Amino acid sequence: MNELLAALPTYLAAHLQLSLAALAGGVVVSVPLGVLATRRPRAGRPLLAVASALQTVPSLALLAFMVPALAAVGAPSIGWLPAVLGLFVYSLLPILHNTTVGLSTIDPAILEAADGVGMDARERLRRVELPLALPLIIAGIRTAAVWTVGTATLATPVGAKSLGYFIFGGLQTRNYAAILVGCAAAAALALLLDGLVHLLELGARRRRRGLVVAGLVGLVGLAIAASLPTLRQAARGGPRPLVVGAKPFTEQYVLSRIVAGVLERATGLPATTLDSLGSTVVFDGLRSGEIDAYVDYVGTLRAVILGRTDVPRDRAAATREVREALAREGIAVAAELGFENTYVVALPRAQAEALGLEQIGDLARHAPGWTVGGDYELFHRPEWQAVVATYGLRFASERSMDPSLLFEATRSGEVQVILGYSTDGRLDAYELVPLVDDRAALPPYDALVLAGPRLVHEYPAALQALQALAGRIDAAQMRRLNAAVDRDGLAPAAVAAGFLRELDARP
List the domains of the chain with CATH numbers.
2-236 (1.10.3720.10), 242-341+444-505 (3.40.190.10), 343-434 (3.40.190.120)
The pLDDT-based confidence of 236 (bands split at 50, 70, 90) is low
Position 507 pLDDT exceeds 70 = no
Position 238 pLDDT exceeds 70 = no
| pTM given for the model | 0.82
Position 215 pLDDT exceeds 80 = yes
Calculate what percentage of the chain has a pLDDT beyond 90: 50
**CA dist., res. 408 & res. 298, Å (int):** 28
**CA dist., res. 143 & res. 122, Å (int):** 28
Q: What is the side-by-side order of every strand in the sheet holding 371-374?
A: 397-400, 371-374, 417-421, 343-348, 432-434
Q: Are 318 and 298 in contact (CB under 8 A)?
A: yes
Q: What is the per-residue pLDDT across 20-51, written as a single tens digit (0 to 9) for each? A: 999 999 999 999 999 998 988 887 788 888 88
Calculate what percentage of the chain has a pLDDT beyond 70: 98
- For range 330-352, the mean pLDDT: 93
> What pLDDT does 382 receive?
80
> What pLDDT does 2 receive?
67
Residues 6 or more apart whose Cβ sits within 8 Å of residue 117: none
Q: What is the per-residue pLDDT across 486-504, written as a single tens digit (0 to 9) for each? A: 888 898 999 999 999 998 8
Count of all residues that appear for the chain in the document: 507
**CA dist., res. 298 & res. 321, Å (int):** 9
**CA dist., res. 278 & res. 245, Å (int):** 10
Position 239 pLDDT exceeds 70 = yes
| Of the candidate ranges 107-116, 226-235, 433-442, the one whose mean pLDDT is the lowest | 226-235
